[in-house]
Structure 1
Amino acid sequence: MSAVPKIPARMSVAEFLAWNPPSPLLWQLVDGEPQAMAPASRTHGAIQNELGRLIANHLSERGSPCAVVTAPGVIPRIQSEANVRIPDLAVACSGYDLEESALSDPVLVIEILSPSNEAETRVNVWAYTTIPSVKEILIVTTAAIGAELLRRNADGSWPDRPVAIEAGELTLESINFRVALAALYRTTRLASRQ
Structure 2
Amino acid sequence: MVALRKPVPTHMTVEAFLRWDSDDVTGRRWQLVDGEPVLMAPAADAHARIQAELVRLLGNHLLAAGSACSVVVAPAIVPRVQANENFRIPDLGVTCAPPSGGVAVPEPVLLIEILSPGNEAQTRSNIWTYTTIPSVREILAVRSTRMEAELLPRGSDGNWPPTPAIIRPPAQLELSSIDLILLITDIYRTAGLSK
TM-score range, shorter chain: over 0.9
Q: Who is 2:41 aligned against? A: 38
Out of 140, 144, 147, which is 1:145 matched to?
147
Please report how far the alpha carbon of residue 7 of structure 1 lies from its aligned counterpart in structure 2 after TM superposition.
Answer: 2.1
SS of residue matched to 2:118: helix
| Cα RMSD, aligned residues only | 1.2
Q: Structure 2: which 5+ runs fail to align? A: none
Out of 57, 64, 73, which is 2:60 matched to?
57
Q: Who is 2:20 aligned against? A: 19
Amino acid at match of 1:186: R
Instruction: State how far apart, in whole Å, the 1-side matches of 2:78 and 2:185 are.
Output: 31
Q: Give identity over the alignment, percent.
A: 49
1:182 aligns with 2:185: yes
1:173 aligns with 2:173: no
> Bigger shift: 10-19 or 70-79?
10-19
- Asked if the contact 1:75/1:104 (under 8 Å) is kept, the reply is no
SS of residue matched to 2:83: coil
Instruction: State how far apart, in whole Å, the 1-side matches of 2:192 and 2:19 are.
Output: 39
- Asked if the contact 1:10/1:32 (under 8 Å) is kept, the reply is yes
Alignment size in residue pairs: 191
Moved >6 Å (runs of 4+): none
TM-score, length of structure 2 as denominator length = 0.94
Instruction: State how far apart, in whole Å, the 2-side matches of 1:90 and 1:20 are.
Output: 25
Amino acid at match of 1:5: K
Out of 86, 102, 105, which is 1:103 matched to?
105
Going by fraction, where is helix more abundant, 1 or 2?
A: 1
Q: Who is 2:7 aligned against? A: 6
- Asked if the contact 1:12/1:81 (under 8 Å) is kept, the reply is yes
SS of residue matched to 1:91: strand
Q: Structure 1: which 5+ runs fail to align? A: none
Q: Who is 1:114 aligned against? A: 116
SS of residue matched to 1:116: coil
Instruction: State how far apart, in whole Å, the 1-side matches of 2:107 and 2:21 are.
Output: 25
- Asked if the contact 1:147/1:166 (under 8 Å) is kept, the reply is yes
TM-score, length of structure 1 as denominator length = 0.94
- Asked if the contact 1:170/1:181 (under 8 Å) is kept, the reply is yes
